[in-house]
């Protein structure tokens, strides 16, 4: 509970200046990947059509299948009649044509191929309908409360809606836990079918914005222009989501404004102790000491003005009674910027130390007596 309140307070502090940048889109958000902190928000829970940004979830489920061993990049995917009937953005798959999982992923990431998205969905779950059930179940697991998916592509469908906030959540899950997706989302130009099919990324930030890492564009007549844009600089990766942009150019301008604001204003710092932490004595323990290790909270998102002047202090218990459980609190690592405390990181027992048994105690006494004699 206390940790939740602390994180909430940190988020409130960080978002105090969140409106220092403006975007023209009616709904947008800027999120930092490691901590999930929201740095900018504008009507971020408004339910809107996501168009092909839907495919972030399609990519997430496919990458989860790859990373779990269900699929391999070189597995061949056979295009069904249903997949070939999608229309919209596509690479014009022919029924029964085969491409590798890797090539299908490339086509989805680079040119937003609807036919390949459905082919992957059918391969992962057996049918697009079954895959959509998984999409909605995964969305619920991620806390995407504004979202209902009706298909794997984002083609217009009644009730197919999400929000900028939910898109940021699924984008974060994809890039945080499946970084291999970058091998596709960072492609600017490439080919398929032995060079016969030319691909140019629909996300122009990949070519023109420093540090761009992806992620997915989308547009339809009703959704207008949407984008989940990711970029990394100096070890910090940001996610900017734009919904219902008036023009294609405007969505990229809005995303670039958010990303540049984030990189100019914030920095990510991974805190490790300045010096080796001394062991803590254990009273009546099976061993004499227990080694403290830093707990959660060692990754800090800070305003740049505070990030460059950090100092540490360590407070440890003089001793602790046995038994000691793994993860028991032994002290605190306090991080300050000037006079301000910016983090209190718990120092925890890195191992279990059971209470000494009577037999062990007797042997200790006997050993002591022998040494004294």
Residues 295, 346: Cα–Cα separation, whole Å: 5
Which residue reads 């970058």 in tokens? Answer: 182
In the three-class reduction of DSSP (H, G, I as helix; E, B as strand; rest coil), residue 149 is classed as coil
Cβ neighbours around 111 below 10 Å, total: 22
Active site residue 52: yes
Which residue reads 């001793």 in tokens? Answer: 319
Alpha-helix runs per DSSP H in the chain = 2-14, 55-68, 81-84, 101-111, 114-125, 128-141, 164-177, 182-185, 205-208, 248-265, 304-307, 358-372
Q: How many CA atoms lie within 13 A of 255 on its CB side?
A: 36
Residues 240, 211: Cα–Cα separation, whole Å: 13
Residues 323, 329: Cα–Cα separation, whole Å: 13
Q: Considering 27, 52, 80, 89, which one is annotated as catalytic?
A: 52
What is each CA distance from 147 to 23, 59, 65, 215, 330, in whole angstroms?
A: 23, 16, 22, 19, 42
Counted residue by residue, the chain has a size of 373
Q: Considering 33, 55, 216, 244, which one is annotated as catalytic?
A: 55
Q: Considering 27, 80, 89, 112, which one is annotated as catalytic?
A: 112
Structure tokens at 19: 């409106």
Active site residue 337: no
> Is residue 268 within 8 Å of residue 32, measured between CB atoms?
yes
Positions marked active-site:
52, 55, 112
């Amino acid at each position: 509970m206390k940790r939740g309140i602390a994180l909430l307070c940190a988020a409130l502090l960080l978002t105090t200046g969140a409106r220092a940048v403006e975007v023209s889109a009616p709904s947008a958000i800027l999120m930092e990947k490691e901590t999930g902190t929201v740095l900018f928000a504008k009507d971020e829970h408004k339910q809107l059509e996501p168009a092909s940004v839907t495919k972030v979830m399609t990519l997430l489920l496919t990458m989860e299948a790859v990373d779990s061993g269900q699929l391999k990049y070189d597995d061949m995917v056979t295009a069904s009649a249903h997949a070939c009937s999608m229309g919209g953005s596509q690479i014009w798959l022919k029924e029964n044509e085969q491409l590798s999982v890797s090539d299908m992923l490339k086509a989805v990431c680079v040119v937003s191929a609807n036919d390949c998205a459905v082919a992957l969905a059918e391969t992962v779950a057996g049918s697009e309908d079954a895959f959509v059930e998984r999409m909605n179940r995964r969305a619920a697991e991620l806390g995407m409360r504004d979202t209902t998916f009706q298909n794997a592509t984002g083609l217009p469908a009644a009730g197919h809606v999400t929000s900028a906030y939910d898109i940021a959540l699924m984008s974060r899950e994809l890039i945080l836990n499946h970084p291999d997706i970058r091998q596709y989302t960072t492609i600017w130009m490439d080919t398929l079918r032995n060079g016969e099919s030319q691909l140019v990324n629909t996300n122009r930030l990949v070519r023109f914005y420093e540090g761009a890492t992806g992620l997915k564009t989308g547009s339809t007549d009703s959704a207008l222009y949407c984008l989940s844009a990711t970029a990394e600089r100096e070890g910090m990766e940001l996610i900017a989501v734009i919904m219902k942009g008036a023009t294609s150019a405007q969505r990229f301008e809005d995303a670039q404004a958010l990303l540049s604001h984030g990189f100019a204003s914030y920095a990510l710092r991974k805190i490790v102790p300045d010096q080796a932490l001394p062991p803590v004595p254990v009273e009546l323990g099976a061993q004499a000491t227990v080694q403290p290790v830093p707990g959660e909270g060692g990754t800090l998102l800070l305003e740049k003005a505070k990030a460059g002047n950090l100092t540490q202090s360590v407070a440890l218990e003089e001793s602790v009674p046995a038994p000691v459980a793994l993860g028991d609190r032994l002290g605190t690592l306090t991080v300050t910027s000037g006079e301000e405390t910016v983090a209190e990181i718990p120092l925890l027992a890195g191992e279990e130390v059971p209470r000494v048994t009577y037999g062990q105690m007797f042997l200790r006494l006997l050993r002591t007596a022998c040494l004294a004699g």
